[in-house]
Amino acid sequence: MMMCGAPSATRPATAETQKLADQVKQELEEKENRKFSVFKALSFKSQVVSGTNYFIKVDVGGEEFVHLKVFQSLPHENKPPALSAYQSNKSQQDELAYF
């Protein structure tokens, strides 16, 4: 059983995870001042808060990875996912951890 407020175990990315990553890709590109030709979600953790935090490991090509923290508000709030934080210059071996 998952402890309330604690991040889940790392799971393989799903189509929904890829969609969340795609929805914040442009914002990340603006913050990093670069374009990503590869943007493939590989794995994720989720954390239920008043909404859900998703921690997503994304392959951006060239043996480089980024970790995204995406907040999805509750459905009744009718808001798009938001990039609340990210970590760049990650490797495939870097553990997806809370940040």
- Tens digits of pLDDT across the chain (99 residues): 445 567 788 999 999 999 999 999 999 999 999 999 999 999 999 988 889 999 999 999 999 999 999 999 998 899 999 999 999 999 999 988 888
- How far is residue 59's CA from residue 21's CA, in Å, rounded to a whole number? 11
Is the entire prediction scored with pTM above 0.95?
no
Q: What is the pLDDT of residue 4?
A: 58
Closest C-alpha among 30, 36, 57 to residue 45: 57
- What are residue 68's DSSP bridge partners? 56, 86
Contact 88, 66 (CB under 8 A): yes
Q: Which amino acid is at 98?
A: Y
Q: Does the structural domain 11-90 have CATH classification 2.30.29?
A: no
H or E segment to which residue 25 belongs: helix 15-32
